[in-house]
Amino acid sequence: MTDDAPSLEALPPLRDVIATHGLAARKSLGQNFLLDLNLTRRIARAGGPLPGFQVIEIGPGPGGLTRALLMEGADHVTAIERDARAIPALRAIEKAAPGRLAIVEGDALAADYPALAAGRPARIVANLPYNIATVLLTGWLSEAHWPPWWASLTLMFQKEVAERIVAAPGTAAYGRLAVLAGWRSRAHLLFEVPARAFTPPPKVTSAIVRLEPRAEAVEVAPALLSRVTAAAFGQRRKMLRASLKALWPKPEPILEALGIDPEMRAERLDVPGFLALARALASERERGVPPAG
């Protein structure tokens, strides 16, 4: 740290930073800023031990969580920010923590995350922009190579989305997202974040979800699992023998061979059941059986 650089603790309050740089939150960017440092530090700690990991943050905005990650011991944080207005605020943090913060100005949806991890085990810790949160998560869970480059994901979602990620079979929230998350990760809802914690406050409660990859995840093509869950949950009120006709003209023999009740509805089929269906679909493709429809 240079003699004229402030420490992280001495940086201006985030409200002052927002005012100085004209950082009014933009709905088009899905922005809602967290200004309470106690809360951001709690989120940083929820990310797990940070020393020794490449920490990646998406949408840092004025840098509240960025500061917290550095204060909680992250050796290095890579912050991806699309909003050019926020870059000067992040530069001030970079100056206060020399060599520990890399700022990537660009679209998080287009980022090369394995390259950003630079061969180190990575933890993603982020207050994700609501408008791209699910797309980012499904991309990280659908990596071609598994185990993936990331060691953990600690992410903020709208509470409703968080509940869908961790939902169990037989519950109303159980669907495609829960199957994908349950297949390749262990997902836990850690705690809720009230709307009043944000500036501006959103109309919904948020929640923090932590996901850790399952090294032993069954090998299935993500695209085929997506096809199976899309068919099953696309008509979730129907029995599987009806909803899966988009994949098999006569699903009953397939279901019965796998030990799945054809009269079951999608919301009651567990993750191993969906994986078995995806493997059956893969086997047919390998044998050259044409898809239904």
Domain extents in the chain: 8-213, 222-286
CATH superfamily of 8-213: Vaccinia Virus protein VP39 (3.40.50.150)
Confidence band of 291 (pLDDT split at 50, 70, 90) = low
pLDDT for the residue 1: 47
pLDDT at 113: 96
| 127 annotated ligand-binding residue | yes
This prediction's pTM: 0.92
Q: What is the pLDDT of residues 139-165, one digit of tens each?
A: 999 998 899 999 999 999 999 999 999
How far from 60 is each of 35, 79, 93, 136, 196, CA to CA, in Å?
Answer: 11, 6, 11, 15, 19
Q: What is the predicted pLDDT for the residue at 289? A: 61
Is-contact 46 154, C-beta < 8 A? yes
Range ranked top by mean pLDDT from 11-20, 30-39, 258-267: 258-267
Query: Given a cut of 80, is residue 94 above it in pLDDT?
Result: yes
34 is in an annotated binding site: yes
Q: Which residues of 30-55 are buried (b: 16+ CB within 10 A; e: fewer)?
A: bbbbbbbbebbbbbbbbbeebeebbb
pLDDT-derived band at 285 (thresholds 50, 70, 90) equals confident
Cβ(97)–Cβ(8) under 8 Å? yes
- What local confidence, expressed as pLDDT, does residue 17 receive? 92
Per-residue pLDDT tens for 35-79? 899 999 999 999 999 999 999 999 999 999 999 999 999 999 999
Task: Give me the mean pLDDT over the 87-94 stretch.
Answer: 96
Binned at pLDDT 50, 70 and 90, residue 236 comes out as confident
Ligand-binding site membership of 32 (annotated): yes
pLDDT band at 23 (very low <50, low <70, confident <90, very high): confident
Share of the chain above pLDDT 90, in %: 81
Assigned superfamily of 222-286: rRNA adenine dimethylase, C-terminal domain (1.10.8.100)
Equal fold, 8-213 vs 222-286: no
Q: Distance (Å, rounded) from C-alpha 189 to C-alpha 208?
A: 6
- Grade residue 4 by pLDDT with cuts at 50, 70 and 90: low
Say if residue 188's pLDDT is above 80.
yes
Query: Binding site annotation covers 38?
Result: no
Q: 23 vs 56, which has greater pLDDT?
A: 56
59 is in an annotated binding site: yes
Find the radius of gyration of the CA atoms of the chain. 22
- 288 pLDDT tier (thresholds 50, 70, 90): low
